[in-house]
Amino acid sequence: MLNNTSVEYDAVIHICRSLFINKTRDYGTAWRILRPESITDQIFIKAQRIRTLEEKKVSKVGEDITGEYIGIVNYCVIGMLQLECGNSTPMELSAEEVAALYDEKVKETKDLMFAKNHDYGEAWRDMRISSLTDLILMKLLRVKQIEDNKGETLVSEGVKANYQDMLNYSVFALIKLGVK
């Protein structure tokens, strides 16, 4: 089962990464201007839209939740990159530099997923997609609180770990939706 998860995970990430790198070629790295709180809010907008579509079962603009989950994956990568790069990295990065950074963050996140899957026994496979959405929204509320606390936590994971969890939940949802 784990090898299957790895293949499915990589297939979803390939789609997300391709879109991200193509947008980088179109727009450059304009996302570098975003503050962490703005990234969190962008993820929140996407997760809230997914939840609304799950509840109302219809989209007035004709889009489904797949694109929103892909957006969450990519904004989580942006979040992790911004946490690491900060102001010390140039605003403009080449598509090749971005691709290497993207791959690094996804590898770290995939490794975390396999460690957690070992402990949880791939419980996500038996979960509803709506529960994954709710978990993402819960993680967002946690991140907002951590940001409001200026990054200080007493016993909790930091922002990066929450971005990683949201990325993984989104990949799980995309796998369950049959994205390949």
Q: Which helix (H) or strand (E) holds 106?
A: helix 95-120
The pLDDT of residue 3 is above 60? no
Task: Give the pLDDT score at 60.
Answer: 63
The pLDDT of residue 57 is above 80? no
Q: What whole-number percentage of the chain has pLDDT above 90?
A: 77
The pLDDT of residue 175 is above 70? yes
DSSP labels, 86-103? GGGS-S---HHHHHHHHH
* Distance (Å, whole) CA 164 – CA 160: 6
Task: Give the pLDDT score at 1.
Answer: 45
In angstroms, the Cα distances linking 97 to 24, 71, 81, 118 are 10, 20, 12, 32
Task: Give the pLDDT score at 11.
Answer: 97
Q: With cut-offs at 50, 70 and 90, classify the pLDDT of residue 157.
A: confident
Q: What whole-number percentage of the chain has pLDDT above 70?
A: 95
The pLDDT of residue 158 is above 60? yes
Domain count, the chain: 1
* Distance (Å, whole) CA 129 – CA 162: 18
Range of the domain at 73: 2-176
Q: With cut-offs at 50, 70 and 90, classify the pLDDT of residue 126.
A: very high
In angstroms, the Cα distances linking 172 to 57, 90, 132 are 20, 33, 8
Predicted TM-score (pTM) of the model is 0.93
pLDDT in tens, 95-111: 999 999 999 999 999 99
